[in-house]
A and B are shown apart, each in its own frame.
Chain A
Amino acid sequence: MATQTKILTQHIDVPGIDTLAVYRQHGGYAAVEKALKTMSPDAVVEEVKKSGLRGRGGAGFPTGMKWSFIDRKSGNPRYLVCNADESEPGTFKDRYLMTRSPHSLIEGMIVSSFALEAHLSYIYIRGEMLATMRILEKAIVEAYAAGLLGKNILGSGYDLDLFVAPGGGAYICGEETALIESLEGKRGNPRNKPPFPAVKGLWQNPTVVNNVETIAATPWIINNGGEAYAAIGVGRSTGTKLISACGHINKPGVYEIELGVPVEEFIYSDQYCGGIWKGKKLKAVVAGGSSVPILPAQLITKTAAGENRLMTYESLAEGGFASGTMLGSGGFIVMDEDTCIVRNTHSFARFYHHESCGQCSPCREGTGWMEKVLHRIETGQGRMHDIDLLVDVAKKIEGNTICPLGDAAAWPVASAIRHFRDEFIWHIEHPQEATQPGAVYRGEAAIA
């Protein structure tokens, strides 16, 4: 196995890397020097385009292309907003990166703001991470003192102010237009698109919203060139990705991988998850945060066509919704053979019901119904037609809401039934057995 390039976490274990002095000793802020003093904003955008970097917040949209959409003609102020709301269940990479190496994000914010010709930028961090917000604010104070923020940065003539704004506990504020509403001091109700934030975002001005990990990757791209970044990975999945692995594995944690590592290796190698805990067998994986379709063991390591699945956007999606999933946010949730899929699906449904902003009826009502019906099945009160009822409700939410939270709520339920229908049927047919503590369906099909 080749040694893996580390872009985001190369120095993350260095003592004191959260301070400016140590960060600089390890090459920190070289990209700010290079970009602001020797490059034009357009040249920075070009370099990021060449890198093939894709948004790490979940949707995987090409970052350079997103930046090129920002309205530079209107003359209105432009803003860069970093999405540090990280609340997709299974995802804990941004908190790790910001807490351990705050300057990685701040350096990325300066370079990226420069590319967008923004002079005021925000890091919107979820309210639960107030302690991490203090760490970022301390690092920002250091950066101002060193002339890396504020007026005329490093004598380049470029000005930038950077602030951190906290949320207050609301998953929906990770959706970029809800985030913008929240940053304006309002409830987190997503906006209709168009207009897109690149045209009308924060205070109706052109705005780019990018994930923490996306922004933190830009200094390396500036230092080493977009082509060097694009040389890592497979096909259109370039560069490295932070994967936060959790659930029933021996070594939960955050791993920076070159995109393209085989899924099987990621789960079983000691370099990563270290295999399933307690010597058990794998039952299922939710590969990209709770919103993406769940896959049973036999479909996560190999595609339906029998090919090895890789940790890339394309390979994980192979087979579409029938037999594939998504890389999403990189929240990799592993379930062993003793996991009850009905219980887990109920827990996710409860999450989406709790987090629906309530604006669109299909999502507000539908998430409530899915939670209720799943609860019924889990507690032994299910009826056989409940299974099709769930599929029907999920279908009626999907695509019928202002923001994708509706889809995110529908997919986990629809995919659990698609791949584990037997288990739902068993719950309904054997309510006595199914409601015993620790009871799990052990049909052939469910376990590889």
Chain B
Amino acid sequence: MSAYSFSTEKVSEHAHFSDALLEKARVAIAKYPEGKQKSAVLEILHDVQNEFGWVSVTAMDRVAELLSIQPIEVYEVASFYTMFNLEPTGKYVLEVCRTGPCQLRGAEELITYLEHKTGAHHGHPSPDGRFTVKPVECLAACGMAPCLQVRLKQLDGDYKYYENLDEPTVDRLIAEEWI
């Protein structure tokens, strides 16, 4: 498994972590015994993605510094786990489940519809920069298929699940919620 693509561009704004982000990193590191701070890397990468929208090499270098590990130890992790977007995305990343059980109840049709409505195709951001449509594997919501999840700034970066989706609901969400 691997990330969809990996931007190697340096992003100077990502070199500085806000106090809030540093505090989150501190809390994550404190969960582990001394010397095992590397364990916090996934949680910190989530926080970084929430702060900047995606995970750049510049930010990963800073994470390596915080954890006193080599940059490659962060890159190899970030590129293994599919939730981390290693290049800029649309403002809302619609992670739509495409796996079997959801497919039985219309996941493929939903993905096509979302791409059509948002103009975000093949994992690339929509021309207006508002959306990326990212097909993902089973989200543990198979009984509420089809479904998707979105990371929302309003929820401090937590992911919100949207379940039992149909076209009118998607239209409403695009018009009113994901703005």
B-binding residues in A (CB < 8 A):
86-92, 94-95, 120, 122, 126-131, 134, 163, 165-172, 182-188, 203, 244-248, 252-254, 286, 290, 331, 333, 335, 339, 343-344, 347-348, 351, 354-358
Contacts and interface: CB of A to CB of B under 8 A. Distances in A.
Interface string B16-45: 000000000000000101001011111101
Contact of A244 (B43, B84, B143, B158): B143
A117 to B, nearest CB: 17
Given A90-B101, A165-B42, A347-B103, A131 B158 contact: yes
Nearest to B83: A169
Nearest to B107: A347
B36 A126 contact: no
B156 to A, nearest CB: 9
B100 A347 contact: yes
Contact of A128 (B73, B77, B83): B83
A128 B36 contact: no
Contact of A95 (B45, B104, B136, B141): B141
A88 B137 CA distance: 10
Given A131-B159, A170-B81, A185-B42, A347 B141 contact: no
Contacts of B69: 185
A185 B77 contact: yes
Contact of B143 (A182, A253, A357, A358): A253
Nearest to A124: B42
Interface of B: 1, 31, 33, 36, 38-43, 45-46, 67, 69, 73, 76-78, 80-84, 95, 98-101, 103-105, 136-145, 149, 155, 157-161
Nearest to A186: B77
Contacts of B100: 89-90, 286, 290, 333, 344, 347-348, 351
A254 B42 contact: no
B77 A90 contact: no
Contact of A358 (B1, B46, B103): B1
Contact of B140 (A86, A203, A356): A86
Given A356-B1, A358-B1, A351 B138 contact: yes
B97 to A, nearest CB: 9
B39 A247 contact: no
B77 A187 contact: yes
A186 B81 CA distance: 10
A130 B50 CA distance: 12
B76 A187 contact: yes
A290 B136 CA distance: 16
Given A185-B77, A203-B36, A126 B140 contact: yes
22 contacts: A86-B140, A89-B138, A90-B142, A92-B140, A92-B141, A127-B83, A128-B139, A130-B158, A131-B158, A166-B46, A168-B84, A185-B41, A246-B143, A248-B104, A252-B144, A333-B100, A344-B103, A344-B104, A351-B100, A357-B1, A357-B80, A358-B1
A169 B104 contact: no
B42 A184 contact: no
A127 B81 contact: yes
B104 A187 contact: no
A171 B82 CA distance: 10
A386 B36 CA distance: 49
A168 B105 contact: no
Contacts of B33: 120, 203
Contacts of B160: 131
A71 B160 CA distance: 41
Nearest to B160: A131
B140 A130 contact: no
A266 B138 CA distance: 23
B39 A184 contact: yes
A423 to B, nearest CB: 16
A348 B104 CA distance: 12
A183 B104 contact: no
Contacts of A183: 39
Nearest to B78: A168
A344 B103 CA distance: 8
Contacts of A253: 143
Nearest to B80: A187
A167 B39 CA distance: 11
B47 to A, nearest CB: 10
Question: Which are the 10 A-B pairs with shortest beta-carbon distances?
Answer: A168-B81, A169-B83, A252-B143, A185-B38, A169-B82, A246-B142, A163-B31, A89-B138, A187-B80, A185-B41
